[in-house]
């Protein structure tokens, strides 16, 4: 079966790529989302849930800076330059994965006091919630399209032919 580059990345170098590109960021992001809901419902902005939320938000945002740099330099730019995208599903999967990290970076910047400094606490909560929602939407788009067989959208895997003189073509 053909795979998108997104799925190939997760399947290669098992279990390390799966841990680095899926488990760690998803665990941090899900921790952020769960504690975000708790804070929105309870309005308890002190204590362990609040500090876990801040830690997860800062950590996953910083972590995604590294992921995005890696993805841009080792996947997006080289694949684009070589014209090796495996259909629109491939572009959407990788692109959505990269885009999913941007709202998490914004959360980290907000938690570090680098953006939204003048917003009142309630408005910062709204920004947080919107950013978590954007991450979930783009992350799920990446996962769904990443699991799609790119041949469904027209990708044809290059074949190797044996030439008469024994040269590969």
Backbone torsions φ then ψ of 168, nearest 5 degrees: -85, 145
Q: What does the alpha-carbon distance between residue 33 and residue 11 come to, in Å, rounded to a whole number?
A: 26
> Does residue 78 sit within a domain?
yes
Q: What does the alpha-carbon distance between residue 164 and residue 106 come to, in Å, rounded to a whole number?
A: 58
The per-residue pLDDT for 167 is: 52
Q: What does the alpha-carbon distance between residue 151 and residue 87 come to, in Å, rounded to a whole number?
A: 8
The whole domain housing 131 covers 5-153
> Does residue 168 sit within a domain?
no
The end-to-end CA distance of the chain, in Å, is 22
- Listed as ranges, residues in the chain with pLDDT below 50 are 168-169
pTM given for the model:
0.88
What is the crossing angle of helices 88-111 and 48-71, to 10°?
Answer: 140
> Does residue 46 sit within a domain?
yes
DSSP helix/strand/coil, 10: helix
The per-residue pLDDT for 33 is: 94
Q: Taking the CB of residue 6, how many other CB atoms lie within 10 A of it?
A: 27
pLDDT digits (tens, 9 = 90+) for 20-52: 999 999 999 999 999 999 999 998 989 999 999
> Does residue 132 sit within a domain?
yes
Q: What does the alpha-carbon distance between residue 80 and residue 90 come to, in Å, rounded to a whole number?
A: 11
Q: What does the alpha-carbon distance between residue 142 and residue 3 come to, in Å, rounded to a whole number?
A: 13
> Does residue 34 sit within a domain?
yes
Tally of domains in the chain: 1
> Does residue 141 sit within a domain?
yes
What sections of 43-120 are H helices per DSSP?
48-71, 77-82, 88-111
> Does residue 68 sit within a domain?
yes
> Does residue 90 sit within a domain?
yes
Q: What does the alpha-carbon distance between residue 38 and residue 32 come to, in Å, rounded to a whole number?
A: 10
């Amino acid at each position: 079966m053909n795979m998108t580059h997104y799925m190939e990345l997760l399947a290669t170098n098992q279990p390390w790529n799966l841990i680095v590109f899926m488990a760690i960021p998803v665990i941090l992001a899900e921790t952020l989302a769960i504690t975000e809901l708790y804070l929105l419902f309870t309005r308890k902005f002190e204590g362990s849930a609040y500090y876990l939320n801040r830690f997860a938000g800062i950590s996953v945002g910083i972590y995604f800076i590294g992921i995005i740099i890696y993805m841009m330099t080792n996947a997006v730019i080289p694949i684009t330059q070589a014209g090796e995208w495996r259909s629109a599903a491939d572009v959407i999967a990788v692109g959505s994965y990269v885009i999913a990290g941007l709202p998490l970076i914004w959360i980290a910047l907000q938690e570090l006091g680098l953006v939204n400094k003048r917003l009142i606490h309630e408005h910062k909560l709204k920004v947080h919630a919107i950013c978590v929602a954007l991450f979930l939407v783009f992350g799920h788009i990446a996962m769904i399209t990443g699991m799609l067989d790119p041949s469904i959208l027209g990708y044809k895997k290059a074949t190797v032919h044996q030439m008469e003189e024994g040269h590969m073509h």
